[in-house]
Amino acid sequence: MESGGRPSLCQFILLGTTSVVTAALYSVYRQKARVSQELKGAKKVHLGEDLKSILSEAPGKCVPYAVIEGAVRSVKETLNSQFVENCKGVIQSFTDVIGHYISGERPKGIQETEEMLKVGATLTGVGELVLDNNSVRLQPPKQGMQYYLSSQDFDSLLQRQESSVRLWKVLALVFGFATCATLFFILRKQYLQRQERLRLKQMQEEFQEHEAQLLSRAKPEDRESLKSACVVCLSSFKSCVFLECGHVCSCTECYRALPEPKKCPICRQAITRVIPLYNS
């Protein structure tokens, strides 16, 4: 906390960072929760049903968000694996990996990875089911919903999505708590600083009132000595200059009696150095 009760730059940066991260995490959580709710509300369609008749009767000849589970079959000629015998599929991709470039070593070989969607594999599709030219097609939804093609079953897919929702919710709550704690810390510091300023102001007003009463009751020849009296004991003369505030308000004996850490009786600022005051 800086002087004057204002929060420091580091506290502002910390509060701003936690607030931005919390907002971002909450936005992701809301998006994940919406996707999970849409996935729960998706209509399950069984391949054994007459899909063409169902879609013909549906509005727009489509189901906006449908779930289909079934085995992969080839419409045209199947693809053969280059590494596994009698392994056939409908989608095939290759990835070449050349190692040791980052470390600076000379490459010793090339690793080629083959990925294939095998015939007969179980596949779950979630998307828009449409009837187009007397053929049924599953395509990405037009309403911004999530499109899925997964080897997992629908229950596992839904469970994974719900686990993701819980994870982002916990992260949002943790950073939200950190934001609230930071804000509470800053506000509490400001409140304590304000209470301290009010207490010091009240003490100064009481001292000025008490000094005015003493001056009004004192004889004219004693008023100058009262103005030079120590604000603590009101009996000895002021003989100390407090730095860095510069107040002259105490005698040497009262300064020594101040509790540690020593603070100025007028402004409560820490006393770093004391200079003796000599009256000629």
Digit-coded pLDDT (tens) for 125-145: 899 988 888 788 888 888 788
Residue 179: per-residue pLDDT: 93
Q: In angstroms, rounded to a whole number, what is the distance separating the alpha carbons of residues 35 and 167? A: 14
Q: In angstroms, rounded to a whole number, what is the distance separating the alpha carbons of residues 31 and 33? A: 5
pLDDT in tens, the chain (280 residues): 444 557 788 888 988 999 999 999 999 999 999 999 999 988 888 877 777 888 888 888 888 898 988 888 777 777 787 777 778 777 767 666 555 555 556 666 667 777 777 888 888 889 998 888 878 888 888 878 888 988 888 999 999 999 999 999 999 999 999 999 999 998 998 898 888 888 877 877 776 676 666 656 656 655 555 567 787 777 777 888 888 888 888 888 888 888 888 888 888 888 888 888 766 5
Residue 160: per-residue pLDDT: 92
In eight-state DSSP terms, residue 3 is G
Pairing type for strands 135-139 and 122-132 reads antiparallel
- DSSP states along 98-140: E-STTTTPPP--EEEEEEEEETT-EEEEEEEEEEETTEEEEE-
Residue 99: per-residue pLDDT: 54
Selection from 220, 207, 178 nearest residue 268 by Cα: 207
- pTM value is 0.62
162 contacts 43 by C-beta, under 8 angstroms: no
Residue 2: per-residue pLDDT: 47
Selection from 114, 113, 86, 84 nearest residue 97 by Cα: 113
Determine whether domain 225-276 maps to CATH 3.40.50.1000. Answer: no
Digit-coded pLDDT (tens) for 164-182: 999 999 999 999 999 999 9
Residue ranges covered by each domain of the chain: 9-95+113-171, 225-276
Provide the token pair at 272: 């770093």
